[in-house]
């Protein structure tokens, strides 16, 4: 079976500003998240696949048939893709059933909106009660609107659904439930999906594959655990999960020396200067003591208390600033003298320019 989506060397831009600088991506099935900060080009990528932006080079194939080849491209309406934009963009003048049936042929609709099996089936798929069929969009909650938008996109049985920041306007609590439900529906419908988001939690928790995008290019395309645990480069590491980058020096084996002492490396590395990505949850704040083995001496700068835990910013005596995540039970106060240590192994990136400690 051919991949749901294959992109090779895709380039696009607005006027003379290039936005996509040669994108390669293969989506076999499941959900692929395009994760990146705003302005990185992820929405343009999605819109190029949808057919709303004309590319300048590259190819795009959907389910084996080429929809873009250089400047030649199939019109958006003939690509047979599902599309869920921000806020869902439900047709405000149509009720839920008519929204869902919008993309169906007259035969599939069976003449009367809302009474077709397909509409009922779709409502069930996105876990909405069938009573909602006669409601109008403004009578729905934000989460319900997004589910209807997905049902509308899935109704014509596309092989690929494009989701553009679909949960960004929802409350945090609603966001997770809606996201889960959307992924379940996509799985049940057997459709692959491209999910554009700037929310790493969303990307990591919902996707089978994450493509980290910056400056119009992918930095890494891999399963969520891989991009998180084995970032391909420092930018990926610092974007995902608040890693502090610390200068270090690899001295043989799988260890590096840095301001925090000797830390074990996740993967072996050639000796030399490196940058170490230390995640906030790996940094431990310990009471001040004379024992150097407890970690590097530091002073607490400030604290953000979240309830379940807290972020503590410390300044090492050697000058570096770090962020640590600490359980709520052992939060220091600003100005406290502490020692800071590392738990677990860290990822090292070759950095020949870095000075030796």
The per-residue b/e assignment along 140-169, b for 16 or more CB within 10 angstroms, e otherwise, is beebbbbbbbbbbbbbbebbbbbbbbbbee
CB nearer to another protein: pick between 152 and 275: 152
Provide, rounded to whole angstroms, the least separation between the CB of residue 6 and another protein: 19
Provide, rounded to whole angstroms, the least separation between the CB of residue 201 and another protein: 21
CB nearer to another protein: pick between 8 and 157: 157
CB nearer to another protein: pick between 43 and 209: 43
Provide, rounded to whole angstroms, the least separation between the CB of residue 42 and another protein: 13
Between CA 226 and CA 241, with CA 174 as vertex, the angle to 5 degrees is 30
DSSP H or E segment with residue 42: helix 42-50
Provide, rounded to whole angstroms, the least separation between the CB of residue 101 and another protein: 10
CB nearer to another protein: pick between 197 and 326: 197
For residues 99 and 101, what is the distance between their CA atoms, to the nearest angstrom? 6
Provide, rounded to whole angstroms, the least separation between the CB of residue 169 and another protein: 6
CB nearer to another protein: pick between 104 and 346: 104
Between CA 201 and CA 209, with CA 204 as vertex, the angle to 5 degrees is 150
For residues 129 and 126, what is the distance between their CA atoms, to the nearest angstrom? 9
CB nearer to another protein: pick between 91 and 305: 91
Provide, rounded to whole angstroms, the least separation between the CB of residue 86 and another protein: 4
CB nearer to another protein: pick between 140 and 283: 140
Residue given tokens 């990926």 in the structure block: 236
User: Which residues of the shown chain bind another protein in the complex (CB under 8 A)?
Assistant: 50-52, 76-94, 102-103, 136-138, 140, 142, 145, 149, 152-153, 156, 162, 164-165, 169
Q: Strand (E) positions, 113-208?
A: 160-164, 192-197
Contacts by 298-301 with C-beta closer than 8 Å and gap 24+? 298/322, 298/337, 298/338, 298/339, 298/340, 299/335, 299/336, 299/337, 299/338, 300/332, 300/333, 300/334, 300/335, 300/336, 300/338, 301/334
CB nearer to another protein: pick between 139 and 317: 139
For residues 286 and 109, what is the distance between their CA atoms, to the nearest angstrom? 66
Provide, rounded to whole angstroms, the least separation between the CB of residue 215 and another protein: 20
Provide, rounded to whole angstroms, the least separation between the CB of residue 229 and another protein: 33
**Cβ contacts of 8 within 8 Å, gap of 6 or more:** 24, 58, 59
Q: How far is CA 310 from CA 4, 324, 336, in A?
A: 42, 8, 15
CB nearer to another protein: pick between 88 and 241: 88
Residue given tokens 């343009």 in the structure block: 44
Provide, rounded to whole angstroms, the least separation between the CB of residue 56 and another protein: 17
Q: Which of 70, 78, 87 is nearest to 142 (CA)?
A: 87
């Amino acid at each position: 079976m051919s991949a749901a989506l294959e992109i090779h060397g895709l380039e696009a831009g607005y006027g003379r500003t290039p936005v996509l600088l040669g994108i390669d991506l293969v989506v076999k099935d499941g959900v692929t998240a395009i994760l990146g900060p705003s302005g990185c080009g992820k929405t343009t990528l999605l819109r190029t696949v949808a057919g709303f932006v004309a590319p300048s080079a590259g190819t795009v194939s959907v389910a084996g048939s080429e929809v873009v080849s250089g400047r030649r491209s199939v019109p958006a309406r003939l690509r047979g893709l599902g599309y869920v934009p921000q806020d869902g963009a439900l047709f405000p003048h149509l009720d839920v059933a008519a929204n869902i049936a919008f993309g169906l042929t007259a035969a599939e609709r069976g003449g009367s909106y809302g009474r077709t099996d397909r509409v009922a089936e779709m409502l069930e798929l996105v876990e909405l009660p069938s009573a909602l069929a006669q409601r109008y969009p403004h009578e729905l909650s934000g989460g319900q609107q997004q589910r209807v938008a997905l049902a509308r996109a899935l109704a014509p049985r596309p092989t690929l659904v494009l989701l553009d920041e679909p949960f960004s306007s929802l409350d945090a609590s609603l966001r997770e439930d809606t996201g889960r439900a959307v992924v379940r529906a996509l799985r049940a419908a057997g459709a692959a999906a491209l999910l554009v988001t700037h929310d790493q939690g969303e990307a990591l928790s919902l996707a089978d594959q994450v493509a980290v995008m910056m400056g119009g290019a992918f930095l890494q395309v891999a399963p969520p655990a891989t991009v998180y645990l084995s970032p391909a480069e420092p930018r990926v590491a610092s974007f995902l999960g608040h890693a502090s980058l610390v200068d270090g020096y690899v001295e043989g084996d799988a260890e590096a020396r840095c301001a925090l002492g000797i830390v074990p490396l996740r993967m072996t590395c050639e000796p030399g200067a490196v940058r170490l990505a230390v995640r906030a949850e790996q940094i431990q704040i310990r009471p001040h003591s004379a024992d150097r083995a407890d970690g590097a001496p530091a002073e607490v700068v400030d604290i953000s208390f979240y309830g379940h835990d807290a972020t503590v910013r410390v300044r090492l005596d050697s000058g570096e600033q770090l962020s640590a995540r600490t359980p709520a039970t052992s939060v220091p106060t600003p100005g406290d003298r502490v020692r800071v240590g590392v738990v677990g192994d860290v990822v090292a990136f070759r950095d020949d320019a870095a000075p030796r400690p």
